[in-house]
Structure formats: C-alpha cells, structure tokens
Chains A and B, each alone.
Chain A
C-alpha cells in the first residue's frame, strides 16, 4: 500500500460516528442538568427547597423524555430495551395497513443493525436476545406481508419500498451471519410472502399494461417482463414493468 492508498484508507475511518440517539440524549442530559441543578450563589436552604419543588414536575417530564430518548440507543438484553419496543409498537399501531409490512421490515432491519453493533462491541450477553428479537420481527413482517390483500395502482410506491427494505434485510443478514459465524434465523416465510406479493403485483401490472397503447420499445420491454414472469423471476419482471408503468 503506498502513502496515497494508506491515507485513503485512513480517511474511511470518518465513518466512525456515535449513534444519533446517544448524541441527542447526551446533549440533553448535559445542558438540562445544569439548567435545573443547584445554583451555588443561592445559599439559602429554604430557597433551594422551593426551587427544587417548583421544578420537580418539569424535571419529571424531562426525565421521561430523556428516558425515551436514551431508550432509542438500547439493544435487546438492555434494561430499557422494553421502552424502545413500546415506542415501536405505538409506531406500528399508527401505520396504515398498506404501509405496515414496510414498517415491520424497517424494524427487522433495525434489529439487524443492533446485532451488528453487538458483534462489533463483543457484547456476547446481548447476542441471544438480539437474535430472538430479529427472528420475531421477521416473523411479524412475513405475517403482515401475507395479509396484504389485492394489489392496486396506488400501492406501487409502497411495494417498491417494501422490496428495497427486503433486499436490504437479505444483504444485511448475510453480512451479520458472516461476522458472527452463525445463522441468525430463517427468512423462508418472509421470502415466500414477498415472492407471492411480487407475483400478484406483476400479474396486476401486466394486465394493466396490456390494456394500454404502448410504444414499440415499451411493448418489447413488456414481452421481456412476461418472459421473466413465466420463468418465475418476479422481481426482474417487476423492475421492467415499473419502468413502463411510471412512464
């Protein structure tokens, strides 16, 4: 490695960054503690009590907000991880049925990131709970995917995002498994549900596009997409169909 290459590699270390949740929580903790802490100039005992009593409820609110903020940086096996799970459950609850599978996949990816952090920091005590949480999140995503009803034209953007999240999950899972040297779960059910959804979507789009007047180029692409579909490569078919559909 010459100097230029070495310097290039050194600069890649810029990717070393703290988690944003920790950054926010720490800033809040440092600056909030000082705002409501004991002021040395005011030495009167009674004024100290009055000061602290008046601010107690507000302090309580900040503690709760701080707790939720702090909980976002926890990982499975940590004491406050349940707080993080609670906020995620609320998030899923507020999501529309169409977007639920995507949100579940995003949560599964989040569990994967946590697993990756555990591997990096060698926190072996958190490994088993983290793998369990990952498997549970994948199962949830598979269930919600399977429950998705008929595909319509308004679902296309959601479906694209779904497939992207799913691809990110597969790649991330392979990476984590190669670092840990062990399988972290079976995503067969998820892949089956996704495959089924891709097939339904491709069928819907083919039918829709066959009823339209297309240019020669797009007509050819449609035929290629149909060939991909017949061969069972629904994802490839979809990418071609979306190109025509979004024209």
Chain B
C-alpha cells in the first residue's frame, strides 16, 4: 500500500456516518455512539495496517467490529451498579420529565426508541436493508447466512417492529 493512511481515510469517510448510525440506533446516546464509533475505526485502522488488502470486505469487517463493541458495551453496563441517564429507558415511565415525553412524540422518535429495544439481529437487518440500502447478498455475507435466511429475517424484523409499535 503506497499510503495506507490516505486509503484508510477514504474508507473512514465512506463508512463513518453509517457505522455511527448503526451504533447510535442501539445505544441511543450521542456520547456513547461517538466513543464506540471511534473505537471501531481505531481497531479497523490497526487491522488495516497489518492486513491491508487481505481484508476482503471492509464494510462487513467494520460492522463486525461495531457489533462486537456494542455487545461488549452492554455486557459491561450490565455489571455496573449505577445506572446513568444514558441507559435510562427512552420509552418514558410515569413521572418522566416533560422534555423526555416531548422527545418521544413523533413516529420517527418512537421507531428510534423501539429499534434500540428489539432483538439485535432484527435491528441490524433493518438498518442495513432500509437505511444503508445493502442488498440481500451483502447482508448475507456480513451475517454469514444464506440469502433466503436473510430475506426471512428482514420480513420478521419488520413484523417485530410493527408489533412493538402496536401496529399489528
């Protein structure tokens, strides 16, 4: 590689928004999403320097790092005794402040809140298929599943989302 930093810079530019969104829609906190996304690209850069062109699918590679980091993040949080405001539920309980209730008032906000709480693989395929516009074969590669399995997963994910929104 003639200039790995420049090449990785292009990879960063291409993927940073998508990876950030992927992480944010799970953790629902700007600071946590920024921290985890930075870590994704730091680790991606480490691997890129060592393996470079050997990484067949950089997109899938970065998403895999992101998935692992989000899982680790929640594993660490589950062990913590104190609950910060970041991990507070976005669906407000009775007595939630006016600002939280106002934040949930729109359909899109409801979808955002529900997405953070549905099964990880359902949320992931919804993000990849509808937001990032990955094709079924691309998603199948990331998940190491058959294309048919991915189509079924997308269908079930949408159904689960509707059920959570109370739309079934």
Contact = CB atoms under 8 A, between A and B. Distances in A.
A191 B138 CA distance: 54
Interface string A1-44: 10100110111111011100011001101110011000000000
Contacts of B148: none
B8 A1 contact: no
Interface in B135-154: none
For chain A, what secondary structure do more than half of its interface residues adopt (helix, strand, loop), or is it mixed? helix
A1 B97 CA distance: 28
A72 B2 CA distance: 32
A14 B131 contact: yes
A27 B9 contact: yes
Interface residues of A, number: 32
A34 B34 CA distance: 19
A122 interface: yes
A13 B100 CA distance: 19
Interface stretch (A90-98, A113-121, A148-156, A197-205): A113-121
Contact of B102 (A7, A9, A26, A179): A179
Contact of A13 (B9, B21, B158, B162): B21
B66 interface: no
B21 A122 contact: no
B99 A122 contact: yes
A121 B24 CA distance: 12
For chain B, what secondary structure do more than half of its interface residues adopt (helix, strand, loop), or is it mixed? helix
A146 interface: no
Interface in B52-83: none
B12 A6 contact: no
A125 B99 CA distance: 14
Contacts of B130: 7, 10-11
A181 interface: yes
A120 B103 contact: yes
B34 A18 contact: yes
Given A6-B167, A178-B102, A18 B45 contact: no
Interface string B87-127: 01000000001111011000110011001000000000010
Given A12-B108, A17-B21, 14 more contacts: A6-B165, A13-B112, A16-B20, A16-B112, A18-B33, A27-B16, A31-B45, A34-B45, A35-B5, A120-B30, A121-B29, A122-B88, A122-B99, A179-B103
Q: Considering the complex of A and B, which 5 residue pairs feature the smallest CB-CB distances, nearest first?
A: A181-B98, A18-B20, A179-B102, A10-B130, A16-B21
24 contacts: A1-B165, A6-B167, A9-B107, A10-B130, A11-B131, A12-B108, A13-B112, A14-B21, A16-B25, A17-B17, A18-B20, A22-B34, A23-B16, A27-B41, A30-B45, A31-B5, A31-B9, A31-B12, A119-B103, A120-B30, A121-B30, A180-B98, A180-B102, A181-B99
